[in-house]
Structure 1
Amino acid sequence: MNFLEISRLAFVTAFYLYCLSFIFYVIAVTGKTWKNRDPKQHERKWGRISFATSSLGLLAHLIYCGTRWAYSGHIPVSNMYEFMTFLSMMIMIAFTVVFLIYRKILLGMFALPVAILVMAYAAVFPQEVQPLIPSLRSIWLYIHVTLAATGESFFAVGFAAGLMYLLRTVDFGSHDKSARRQKRWVEFTLFSIIIVVGFIVSVYSFRAAGYEAVFTQNTTNIDSQVEEDSTIGKEVYNLPPIVAPHNSTMESVQPFLGMDHALFEAPSWMKGVNAGRKFNTVLWSILSGIVIYALLRLILRRPLGQLLAPTVRGIDPDDLDEISYRAIAIGFPIFTLGALVFAMIWAQQAWGRFWGWDPKEVWALITWLYYSAYLHLRLSRGFQGKKASWLAVLGFLVVMFTLVGVNLIIAGLHSYAGTD
């Protein structure tokens, strides 16, 4: 068995251990109310089992990283599969650090799903080890990407604690205007997470079914005032085509629910690698998310926020507020160094400029400005409690758009990190 096979086995092992640990955390939190149980003893027992299981998962995750690094000769962060897997590992490290400080069992029930979701998202992308492209052959790859992911991992823990705070403090039984608005925003946050779940479910489902649609795309190259011959390329969809590539014809398709052709073409202004296919993926993610959310509401017969709220009743909201703030305060300087300072130094070496308004650069700056505003309001304006928690939750949605949305929607110099 070589290093690559060990890394794949370690990846799968880590994923299942995280899932098992999440189940144990749920038992630790919800099992306190079982009859004939000592709540404190039950929580301590299952809390230890949960943390031990998640720690074993993290150990397997570290083995994945080390063996893949040994096989490829470079740190595994060079494409979307590797980076998102590395990010999920850093989320678990950040969770472990915060957990050892505050010893809040409930945090695992909300932080583990974030790491699991990111890991499942990573597995959607091609997993082959590829040689580094020239622009990535630099020591700054190690510094820039790893520090940026570390900072974002602490933002994820801050998000989990902030969401827990909102579930703890929003009055889901009230019908006044303010409470209704807050309940809607909590539900929107949960729905945003389900859209990512929808993306994963739809990709895996059609991949398992072997679905494929092939388009022939005609591209006209214009040099000065002379029109050159058109070049023809093929674009393969693994999801049923709602939107076809711009200026293309369908070569073959497997009908799905009567869909034997695309409903419309991607607009001409959508440029970049596989823009039509990426737009199609975004539409399927939203549609799948809506279907999953509707089914959950139909089965549970109540909003998801209202369902989760009872799990956090026994925890002090001030502790959650403190955990969210501390996690973001730890992550911010790390993110600043990794995503901005060292990134600009690398950009100067690789592309001859510190800043070029590349979409990923712009959204990294937006993320940094957002969390700068969060810390400023927290420290100087007394933004605590609900206000700070809302900022922590919305901030991580900005992070996820930077990581996911920019790669699927916007083309740029960082497109090597996109889907294959």
Structure 2
Amino acid sequence: MNWLAFSQDSYLVAFFLFCIGFISFVFTVAGRKMKTKDPAAHEQKWGRISFSIALLGFVAQLAYFITRWIGGGHIPVSNMYEFMSFLAMMIIGAYIVIFFIYRSYVMGVFALPLAVLIMAYASVFPSEVQPLIPQLDSIWLKIHVTLAAAGEAFFAIGFVAGLMYLIRTVQWDNSSAKRAQRSLEVIMVLIMIIVGFVAVVFGYRSADYEVAIDQRLETVDNQGQINSTIETIMYKMPPLIAPYQGEVKEDQKLLGIKLPLLEAPKWMEGAQAGRKLNTVAWSILSGLLLYGIVRLIIRKPIARALQPLLSGLDPEDLDEISYRANAIGFPVFTLGGLIFAMIWAQIAWSRFWAWDPKEVWALITWLFYSAYLHLRLSRGYIGAKSSWLSVIGFIIVMFTLLGVNLIISGLHSYAGV
């Protein structure tokens, strides 16, 4: 049996089931606004159907994970495609756990698209099974990565509930709430940036776009002599920003404008620095464009357009769900993201800490959620304060997962290959 082919088919099935489940959840919640004879019965009926679809999607994704493990010969969390796919699966798993505790159908309206977006982002990266490098061929890979992802998945559910609380409670007609309104729209912009990035990458990938840029790299040897070499960098998107001392081999234009527009600064080290900066630029531009289009269509802030979907929810329940999810995720992340990671680092590299960017941001994540729990339990941070901390915390998590790979080089750079 071709396990890898079955694995990819299962992945696609899970993706489409989550999309269908999201639409079904929206229909479930919209039943409160429709003129149905019994809105409560409508919500119960379609909520169960929606949750069943999400559960089937989780089973399909679990089948993808197991069969890829069998076909690839190692646990599929060793590169960016595999890890983000696993994180999406764990987010749905965390949602299922929280659902059985709180029975919240509305959470699916936000949790499922988050998983779909992460699955789509994972598909941006090469999906071929890659052999493990020696440092990754360890039992600690299974323990460290899976527990870290499980903790981050519960942080994601905490983020979802926190964001729902903020959307539910913000007062759009109150002029004194302008700061909260603007802050919520900033979150919507950040989400659109990720969506825009995925859309642009898929678009240029389907068009088989590729351009080669030669970059001159200079190194200084032990005698103090400067050696110059040429390295070819392959861009998968039009070069808005070229590498430092880079030369495009063929003319490139976008909407009649000659590219590149800028050159990466000299202080950005690494042969791939210009390409990464170009990716960030495309993400921001496409996200802002997408946000502008959505705003033109709905003619109101996105968060304000979402508020009616949450009108029947108790804000205190959302606040409690957010806190419980973060409280579950914190000890799991502590074990996987820090303790077991340091044990593995000691075994693989003979040191438990090296100030690698990924290590530093994992520590920042841990410190932030430590502060969150302290403020929640000791300082009475509940409601909006607690929800904002949940949202900011998950932004830090996503920067640790995505931003470090796109912007910063380090020992964990293999994850972005």
TM-score (norm 1): 0.97
Deviation at 1:226, TM superposition (A): 4.0
Partner of 1:388: 386
Q: Map 1:279-318; keep pairs closer than 5 Å.
A: 279-318=277-316
Contact 1:273 1:411 in 2 (8 A): no
Partner of 1:379: 377
Picking from 338, 344, 347, the partner of 2:345 is 347
Partner of 2:317: 319
Partner of 1:125: 125
What is the distance in 1 between the residues matched to 2:218 and 2:326? Answer: 48
What is the distance in 1 between the residues matched to 2:112 and 2:209? Answer: 31
What is the distance in 1 between the residues matched to 2:250 and 2:38? Answer: 63
What is the distance in 1 between the residues matched to 2:374 and 2:415? Answer: 32
Deviation at 1:261, TM superposition (A): 2.4
Partner of 2:217: 219
Deviation at 1:275, TM superposition (A): 1.2
Q: Secondary structure at the match of 2:193?
A: helix
Q: Secondary structure at the match of 2:122?
A: helix
Change (3 A) 1:125 1:253: farther
One-letter identity of the residue aligned with 1:6: F
Q: Map 1:357-376; keep pairs closer than 5 Å.
A: 357-376=355-374
Contact 1:213 1:253 in 2 (8 A): no
One-letter identity of the residue aligned with 2:246: S
- May I ask how many residue pairs the two structures share in their alignment? 417
What is the distance in 2 between the residues matched to 1:227 and 1:415? Answer: 29
Deviation at 1:74, TM superposition (A): 0.8
One-letter identity of the residue aligned with 1:57: G
One-letter identity of the residue aligned with 2:236: N
Q: Secondary structure at the match of 2:230?
A: strand
Deviations 1:115-160, CA, capped at 9 Å, x for gaps: 1111110000011111001110111100000000000000000000
One-letter identity of the residue aligned with 1:409: I
Work out whether 1:50 is the aligned partner of 2:59: no
Partner of 1:96: 96
Picking from 222, 228, 231, the partner of 2:229 is 231
What is the distance in 2 between the residues matched to 1:266 and 1:251? Answer: 17
Q: Map 1:136-147; keep pairs closer than 5 Å.
A: 136-147=136-147
Deviation at 1:273, TM superposition (A): 5.0
Contact 2:144 2:340 in 1 (8 A): yes
One-letter identity of the residue aligned with 2:281: L
What is the distance in 2 between the residues matched to 1:259 and 1:205? Answer: 20
Partner of 1:17: 17
Contact 2:3 2:70 in 1 (8 A): yes
What is the distance in 2 between the residues matched to 1:249 and 1:40? Answer: 64
Q: For structure 1, which segment, 231-240 or 253-262, has the greater mean C-alpha deviation from structure 2 after superposition?
A: 253-262
Q: Map 1:396-415; keep pairs closer than 5 Å.
A: 396-415=394-413
Work out whether 1:210 is the aligned partner of 2:208: yes
Deviation at 1:217, TM superposition (A): 1.5
In structure 1, runs of 5+ residues without a counterpart are: none
Partner of 2:157: 157
What is the distance in 1 between the residues matched to 2:198 and 2:2? Answer: 29
One-letter identity of the residue aligned with 1:313: S
Change (3 A) 1:3 1:254: farther
Deviation at 1:409, TM superposition (A): 0.2
One-letter identity of the residue aligned with 1:368: W
Partner of 1:70: 70
Deviation at 1:228, TM superposition (A): 5.7
What is the distance in 2 between the residues matched to 1:169 and 1:101? Answer: 23
Please report the RMSD computed on the Cα atoms of aligned residues, expressed in angstroms: 1.1
What is the distance in 1 between the residues matched to 2:94 and 2:362? Answer: 20
One-letter identity of the residue aligned with 2:401: L
Q: Map 1:246-285; keep pairs closer than 5 Å.
A: 246-285=244-283
Partner of 2:106: 106
What is the distance in 2 between the residues matched to 1:202 and 1:128? Answer: 21
Contact 2:68 2:76 in 1 (8 A): yes
What is the distance in 2 between the residues matched to 1:30 and 1:225? Answer: 72
Q: Secondary structure at the match of 1:255?
A: strand
What is the distance in 1 between the residues matched to 2:187 and 2:36? Answer: 36
What is the distance in 2 between the residues matched to 1:416 and 1:180? Answer: 43
Deviation at 1:257, TM superposition (A): 1.2
Q: Secondary structure at the match of 1:415?
A: helix
One-letter identity of the residue aligned with 1:284: W
Partner of 2:175: 175
Give runs of ≥4 in structure 1 deviating > 4 Å: none
Deviations 1:251-284, CA, capped at 9 Å, x for gaps: 1255321244211211122123511111100000
Deviation at 1:380, TM superposition (A): 0.4
What is the distance in 2 between the residues matched to 1:273 and 1:2? Answer: 38
Deviation at 1:13, TM superposition (A): 0.6
Q: Secondary structure at the match of 1:225?
A: coil
What is the distance in 2 between the residues matched to 1:410 and 1:48? Answer: 44
Work out whether 1:79 is the aligned partner of 2:51: no
Q: For structure 1, which segment, 41-50 or 210-219, has the greater mean C-alpha deviation from structure 2 after superposition?
A: 210-219
- Percent identity at matched positions? 59
TM-score (norm 2): 0.98
Contact 2:233 2:271 in 1 (8 A): no
Contact 2:252 2:260 in 1 (8 A): no
What is the distance in 2 between the residues matched to 1:107 and 1:130? Answer: 35
Contact 1:214 1:253 in 2 (8 A): no
What is the distance in 1 between the residues matched to 2:394 and 2:362? Answer: 12
Deviation at 1:209, TM superposition (A): 1.9
Q: Secondary structure at the match of 1:126?
A: coil
Deviations 1:9-65, CA, capped at 9 Å, x for gaps: 011110000000000000000122212331100000110110000011000000000
